[in-house]
């Protein structure tokens, strides 16, 4: 089961104009049939998720794609961090010179935040390993992907289904005829044949002209990527703060038109729940 | 073929925009890319040769020192960068597959990615002049 708690990129964008698709920044809940819980990113959406997690929960694994503010801003407001008896395991990329803890401390410490990381005893930090590793209920594949600063994508496998999460991804940057061969395409192995692919779809073609290299994709680029990797269901995600619901409707319609007969398109909406199975979304 | 590491993909993309000749090999020494300026020096196109095993590319360009003595594979900067994990610079001659004899200078560096992963090596070539 997949539930979207934050679908927005860059900046939380509450307001009448974003009610349908949501204004909170990146956060996705993923649960196995047995109830194991993984959380993808800790944007502002994680605050509401924390309140929904049972007080009986003993462990939560939070997988951070990277440490840009829209992916960590909700972390300090995640209720599970302050509950007795609940262990929170936080996985995220180190840099070439600093551990995840050192990097995260830059935000989770005064003057930016009143609580220090070291004051959260139930929190265990892991420099996320590149490659395959296990967390309760899930096999996780992790790889660096193209986005400014160390950024990873995830592939979660459980219950015979595979979900790929590439929230911030610009695989077309610098590629003259995108997509190129699979071996030269960022994120390809993570997304290959995924039952559900949650992928960055931040820009229109016009916007991309002035935002090239910022680490995000257009609708057309994502359509090309989705087609190349053979994903069964594509979930547009990480919406630009300037895009209201009406504009997103147009972008999603363009993606659905381009992928008709190739792949199902289900735009991410805050609060939406999807049941992922082998072969797509039930 | 499995997807290359992101650091290698980015190296290739950078190389594809440079006027400097660049060679990229994977950790096993397989030649996985060279750019257009390198194609001119080597006298062949990557699309024609495709990826090449180290045993092939170390011998096919007939590398010699400035006194025309053949170089062993381990004397080539890229092989040294792969074997010893450190930069290496050399000046030597090659014969391109177009038959052209060229004096070149080569600097090779190992590519170390996030978490110190050894993901391959790259070499930058300069044509030093006609031999």
Q: Each residue of A130-146: pLDDT tens digit?
A: 999 999 999 999 999 99
Cβ-defined contact of B6 to A143 (cutoff 8 Å): yes
* Tally of CB atoms within 10 A around B101: 13
Q: How many C-beta atoms surround the C-beta of residue B36 within 10 A?
A: 14
DSSP conformational letter for B57: H
Give the per-residue pLDDT at B89: 96
Q: What pLDDT is attached to residue A96?
A: 87
Q: Does residue B81 belong to any structural domain of this protein?
A: yes
Q: Do B4 and A93 touch (CB under 8 A)?
A: no
Calpha distance A225→A179 (Å, rounded) = 6
Task: Please give the tally of structural domains in chain B.
Answer: 1
Please report residues of B whose CB lies closer than 8 A to that of A93: 114
**Residues A87-107 as b or e (16 or more Cβ within 10 Å = b):** ebbbbbbbeeeeebbebbbee
H/E/C letters for each residue in chain A? CEEEEECECCCCCCCHHHCCCCCCECEEEEECCCCCEEEECCCCCHHHHHHHCCCCCCEEEEECCCCCHHHHCCHHHCHHHHCCCCEEEEEECCCCCCCHHHHHHCCCCCCCCCCCHHHCCCEEEEECCCEEEEECCEEEEEEECCCCCCCEEEEEEECCEEEEEECCCCCCCCCCCCCCCHHHCCCHHHHCCCCEEEEECCECHHHHHHHCCCCCCEHHHHHHHHHHHCCCEEEEECECCCCCHHHHHHHHHHHHHHCCCCCEECCCCCCCEECEECCEEC
User: The domain spanning residue B59 has which CATH number?
Assistant: 3.30.450.20
Asked whether residue B45 is assigned to any structural domain, the reply reads: yes
Q: Please calculate the CA angle A201-A202-A205 and round it to the nearest 5 degrees.
A: 95
Domain ranges of chain A: 2-270
Mutate which: B1, B7, B10, B13, vs A, most A CBs within 10 A:
B13
Report d(CA A223, CA A240) in Å as an integer: 17
Contact B115 A94 (CB under 8 A): yes
B68 touches chain A (CB under 8 A): no
**Residue pair A178/A224 in contact by the 8 Å Cβ criterion:** yes
Q: What is the pLDDT of residue A73?
A: 96
* Confidence category of residue A176, pLDDT binned at 50, 70, 90: confident
**Does some domain include residue B119?**
no
ipTM: 0.80
In-domain check, residue B92 = yes
Across the range A151-167, mean pLDDT stands at 98
Look at residue B20 and tell me if it is in a domain: yes
Torsions phi, psi of A103, nearest 5? -70, -45
Residue A228 makes CB contacts below 8 A (sequence gap 6+) with A179, A182, A185, A188
pLDDT at B130: 52
Domain boundaries A2-270, corresponding CATH code: 3.60.15.10
- Predicted pLDDT at B131: 45
Q: Average of pLDDT values for A67-75? A: 97
CB-based contact B16 A184, cutoff 8 Å: no
Tell me, yes or no, whether B122 lies in a domain: no
Q: Does A57 touch chain B (CB under 8 A)?
A: no
Instruction: For residue A188, give the nearest of B3, B13, B14 by CB distance.
Output: B3
**Residue contact A186–B6, C-beta within 8 A:** yes
User: What is the least distance, in Å, from the CA of B104 to any CA of chain A?
Assistant: 28
CB-based contact, A188 to chain B, within 8 Å: yes
Give the residue from chain B lying closest to A191, CA to CA: B3
Q: How far apart are CA A229 and CA A210, in angstroms?
A: 27
Which domain, by its residues, includes B67?
6-110
pLDDT digit of tens for each residue in chain B (131 aa)? Answer: 789 999 999 999 999 889 999 999 999 999 999 999 999 999 999 989 999 999 999 998 999 998 899 999 999 999 999 999 999 999 999 999 999 999 999 999 999 998 899 999 999 999 986 54
Of A158, A130, A133, A115, the C-alpha closest to A1 is A158
Task: Report the mean per-residue pLDDT for chain A.
Answer: 96
Q: Is the model's pLDDT at A87 over the cut of 60? A: yes
Burial class (CB in 10 A: 0-12, 13-18, 19+), A244: middle
Q: Is the dihedral of CA A79, A82, A85, A90 positive or negative?
A: positive
Domain contains B128: no
pLDDT at A220: 97
- Inter-chain CB proximity A186 and B1 less than 8 Å: no
B 96-115 residues with CB < 8 A to A? 113-115
The residue among B3, B32, B35, B50 with the most chain A CBs within 10 A of its CB, best to mutate, is B3
């Amino acid at each position: 089961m997949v539930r979207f708690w934050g679908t927005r990129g860059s900046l939380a964008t509450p307001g009448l104009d974003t009610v349908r698709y949501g204004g909170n920044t990146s956060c996705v809940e993923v649960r196995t049939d047995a109830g194991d819980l993984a959380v993808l990113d800790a944007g502002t959406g994680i605050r509401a998720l924390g309140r929904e997690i049972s007080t009986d929960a003993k462990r939560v694994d939070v997988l951070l794609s990277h440490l840009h503010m829209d992916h960590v801003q909700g972390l300090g407001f995640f209720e599970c961090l302050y509950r007795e008896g609940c262990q929170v395991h936080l996985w995220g990329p180190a840099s070439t010179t600093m551990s995840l803890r050192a990097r995260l401390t830059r935000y989770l410490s005064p003057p930016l935040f009143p609580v220090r990381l070291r004051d959260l005893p139930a929190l265990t930090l892991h420099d996320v390993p590149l490659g395959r590793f296990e967390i309760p209920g899930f096999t996780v594949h992790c790889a660096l992907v193209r986005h400014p600063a160390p950024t990873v994508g995830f592939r979660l496998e459980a219950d015979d289904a595979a979900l790929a999460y590439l929230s911030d991804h610009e695989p077309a940057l610098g590629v003259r005829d995108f997509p190129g061969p699979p071996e030269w395409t960022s994120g390809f192995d993570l997304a290959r044949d995924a039952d559900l692919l949650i992928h960055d779809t931040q820009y229109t073609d016009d916007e991309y002209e002035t935002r090239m290299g910022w680490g995000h994709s257009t609708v057309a680029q994502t359509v090309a990527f989705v087609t190349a990797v053979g994903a069964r269901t594509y979930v547009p995600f990480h919406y630009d703060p300037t895009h209201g619901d009406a504009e997103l409707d147009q972008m999603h319609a363009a993606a659905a038109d381009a992928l008709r007969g190739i792949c199902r398109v289900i735009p991410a909406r805050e609060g939406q729940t999807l049941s992922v199975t082998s072969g797509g979304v039930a | 073929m499995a997807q290359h590491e992101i650091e290698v993909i980015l190296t290739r993309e950078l190389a594809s925009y440079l006027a400097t000749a660049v060679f990229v090999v994977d950790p096993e020494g397989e030649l996985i890319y060279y750019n257009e300026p390198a194609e001119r020096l080597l006298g062949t196109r990557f699309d024609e040769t495709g990826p090449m095993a180290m045993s092939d590319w170390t011998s096919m360009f007939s590398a010699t020192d400035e006194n025309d003595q053949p170089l062993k594979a381990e004397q080539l900067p890229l092989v040294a960068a792969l074997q010893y994990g450190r930069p290496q610079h050399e000046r030597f001659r090659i014969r391109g597959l177009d038959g052209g004899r060229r004096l070149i200078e080569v600097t090779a560096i190992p590519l170390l990615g996030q978490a110190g992963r050894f993901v391959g090596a790259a070499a930058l070539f300069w044509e030093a002049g006609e031999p």
